[in-house]
Amino acid sequence: MSFELLATDGKARRGRLTFPRGTVETPAFMPVGTYGTVKGMLPRDIVATGAEIILGNTFHLWLRPGTEVIKEHGDLHDFMQWKGPILTDSGGFQVFSLGAMRKIKEEGVTFASPVDGAKVFMGPEESMQVQRDLGSDIVMIFDECTPYPADEDVARVSMELSLRWAQRSKNAHGDNTAALFGIVQGGMHENLRMRSLEGLEKIGFDGLAIGGLSVGEPKHEMIKVLDYLPGRMPADKPRYLMGVGKPEDLVEGVRRGVDMFDCVMPTRNARNGHLFIDTGVLKIRNAFHRHDDSPLDPTCDCYTCQNFSRAYLHHLDKCGEMLGSMLNTIHNLRHYQRLMAGLREAIQQGTLAAFVDAFYAKRGLPVPPLD
């Protein structure tokens, strides 16, 4: 993988990632394909939304169907018929989310499989091997996601463990030609975040991610971290904000120098009838859409908006038809990709401030200040 910085506007960056399987224009949003599928989407539909890279889940694919099944097809790209790059998370966050079901030691994590209850172990070496078997284009280190809230002592112990696991992940990655990203941890403590960043830079990675956000902290806490952290990360490497978020979060991340994002929000919200439009969120389940023959979003060029009315989408949702979730997902993912394309163009043209002003004006919201 190579990263080229093409333009800047303030802290915001316009770049390009190049892989053997294709290029990814940044800032980029990655749809989440947890089990080797972006829910409700054929690979060709994902491409049509403008997505160039997707995310797969190491933890879940390892447990089911298992890498031995996937390797019989080649790798994850062949298994799910996605031709572009894939980033796989390490499984650390999923292990973190198991709570009392898992036990963390220096060696790694032992937990009861959520699939069949069997006792399972995963450490940095196991995570690197699974991601190698999946054929990931971007591999994430195995880390411990610092819980929220966490006092400084708890966050420090967690961060230091993640740094040791980062070194083991780098060692185990070995001759794998895929890119390897480190993950900055440290909770809401700036001094710990900076120690984590310095430690990761010494180990050496192809890119760096910001972890431990979108785990229940208030919005202002996330913004506080984004105000100081991305700008201190190496300028010649991509910066990835994990698990974030709403369209407003993407805009604020880009304004502060983030290059890559992922989140289940557009796909999950689509299945619940919450659809993103330029003025905010439209709830298609509301009864007043029953007779609305207008498109979901007249400014959107997605297949859903070009062909179907709000009344039809409301009808599908009320009937529980799977086509409703599919059409909603097409729209939400296209909305996110249109947003990212607009941000990229604005950075390229040096008009990001005007773009941000218009973005918030359509929503009737004030523009958040930049630190």
Angle between helices 322-349 and 310-319 (to 10 degrees): 130
Alpha carbons 312 and 291: distance in angstroms, whole number: 9
Alpha carbons 152 and 157: distance in angstroms, whole number: 9
Is 292 among the residues known to form the active site? no
Residue 143 labeled ligand binder: yes
Residue 324 labeled ligand binder: no
Residue 92 labeled ligand binder: yes
Task: Give the active site residue among 9, 89, 206, 317.
Answer: 89
In one letter, which amino acid is 249? D
Residue 348 labeled ligand binder: no
DSSP symbol at 316: H
- Coil/strand/helix, residue 332: helix
Residue 227 labeled ligand binder: no
Task: Give the active site residue among 9, 133, 137, 262.
Answer: 262
| Closest alpha carbon to 37 in 67, 61, 8 | 61
Alpha carbons 258 and 355: distance in angstroms, whole number: 17
Residue 89 labeled ligand binder: yes
Alpha carbons 70 and 93: distance in angstroms, whole number: 22
Residue 91 labeled ligand binder: yes
Alpha helices, DSSP H, located in the chain: 43-49, 58-63, 67-71, 76-80, 92-97, 124-134, 152-173, 190-203, 219-228, 247-255, 265-271, 303-307, 310-319, 322-349, 352-363
- Coil/strand/helix, residue 366: coil
Is 262 among the residues known to form the active site? yes
Distances (CA, A) of 69 to 138, 139, 220, 242, 346: 21, 20, 44, 28, 44
The encoded tokens of residue 140 equal 């994430």
Residue 302 labeled ligand binder: yes
Residue 371 labeled ligand binder: no
Cβ–Cβ under 8 Å, residues 219 and 252: no
Going by their DSSP bridges, the two strands 28-30 and 32-33 should be labelled as unpaired
Residue 259 labeled ligand binder: no
**Terminal-residue alpha carbon distance, the chain:** 32
Alpha carbons 101 and 269: distance in angstroms, whole number: 28
Residue 342 labeled ligand binder: no
Residue 77 labeled ligand binder: no
Distances (CA, A) of 10 to 255, 346, 347, 350: 8, 11, 9, 9
In one letter, which amino acid is 108? G
- Annotated binding-site members for Zn(2+): 300, 302, 305, 331
- Binding site: which residues? 89-93, 143, 185, 212, 300, 302, 305, 331
Q: Enumerate the active-site residues.
A: 89, 262
Q: Which residues are annotated as a binding site for substrate?
A: 89-93, 143, 185, 212
